[in-house]
Amino acid sequence: MASGFFALLDDIAALMDDVATMGKVAGKKTAGILGDDLAVNAEKASGFMSSREIPVLWAITKGSFLNKLIILPVAFLLSAFVPIAVKIILLMGGLYLAYEGAEKVYEYLFPHAHPKEKPKLEKITKEEALAREKEKIKSAIITDFILSVEIVIIALGTVSTEPIATQIMVVSLIALVATVGVYGIVALIVRMDEFGAKLIELNDKTDSFSDMVGNFLVNALPWVIKSLGVIGTIALLLVSGGIFVHNLPFIHELVHSLPSILGEFLVGVVVGAITLPVVGLGKKIWKGIKKN
């Protein structure tokens, strides 16, 4: 009996060691998506009244948890019974990520001209403000769902050859980190300017240390969000390229002589450059069909 108990403990320890090892690998593979998730949600959670930032962020976080509860069982069932579907979804996700990264680069290089409008005051009721808030929350949760699918599938792809118990634990761990970690950091980011303002108000002096730190935090917030956007775009192209390099042997052969990070980035750029005009043409055709 005792030997059986210790054997069970040994099996559990071995499993947890495998989970820790594979978790690190999966974490590296999903880091790009997590970075983009962080940038997107920091942007979507900002722009609200100070008193509404945390409630809005909590509502998005709950929606993110629900997304994971829907996605994880479906992903595990596909992995167990239709493993080829995981690879297909992974490659489709790679196309989406490459397109999104290329679109951001294109928008930066060739920004769309927006008509200038005179700013005008708009009075809205409390009910209208709450309705707009709900729409923004809904939009953020939908975006989170798309990114969550990619996070789960990429994490699952890194452990697809492992036992199902290891797959479930590793992917669930990554999903938990993707929610708690990302939204925890987003909460810190969106409250950064508020914390800075409180530091400025600590005393009446204009050149105190708290004033310097406070002004830095207030002025740094827009730059932090912009920097996350740039880092997220680069990460999107890297992750996309990595998906194709590691899942399509002929692409791997094309770039195997290059440093891995450079090869993956170049593949992501090329795939993005191909998908961007294709998707753009598809949108134009769809708009034409809708008009008719």
Confidence (pLDDT) at 2: 44
Interatomic CA distance for residues 252 and 86, integer angstroms: 19
How far apart (Å, rounded) are the C-alpha atoms in residues 10 and 274? 51
Is a pLDDT exceeding 50 seen at residue 18?
A: no
22: part of which helix (H) or strand (E)?
helix 2-44
0.95 surpassed by pTM: no
Burial zone of 69 (CB within 10 Å; 0-12 exposed, 13-18 middle, 19+ buried)? exposed
Confidence of residue 278 (pLDDT cuts 50, 70, 90): very high
Per residue in 178-206, pLDDT (tens digit) is 788 777 877 777 777 777 877 777 777 77
Q: Which position has the higher pLDDT, 19 or 210?
A: 210
Structural domain boundaries in the chain: 20-112+124-287
Q: How many CA atoms lie less than 13 Å away from 214 in the CB half-sphere?
A: 17
Tell me the percentage of the chain whose pLDDT exceeds 90.
Answer: 9
* Per-residue confidence band for 9, with pLDDT thresholds at 50, 70 and 90: very low
Other C-beta atoms closer than 10 Å to the C-beta of 134 total 12
Highest mean pLDDT among 2-6, 49-53, 86-90, 202-206: 86-90
Give the long-range contacts of residues 91-94, CB within 8 A, separation 24 or more. 91/243, 91/244, 91/247, 91/248, 93/149, 93/150, 93/153, 93/154, 93/243, 94/239, 94/240, 94/243, 94/244, 94/247, 94/271
What's the CA gap between 100 and 106, in Å, rounded?
A: 10
Q: What is residue 81's predicted lDDT score, i.e. its pLDDT?
A: 86
Q: Answer whether 158's CB lies under 8 Å from 26's CB.
A: yes
Task: Give the CA angle between residues 77, 78, 83 to the nearest 5°.
Answer: 130
Amino acid identity, position 95: L
Q: Which one, of 152, 155, 169, 151, lies nearest residue 34 by Cα?
A: 151
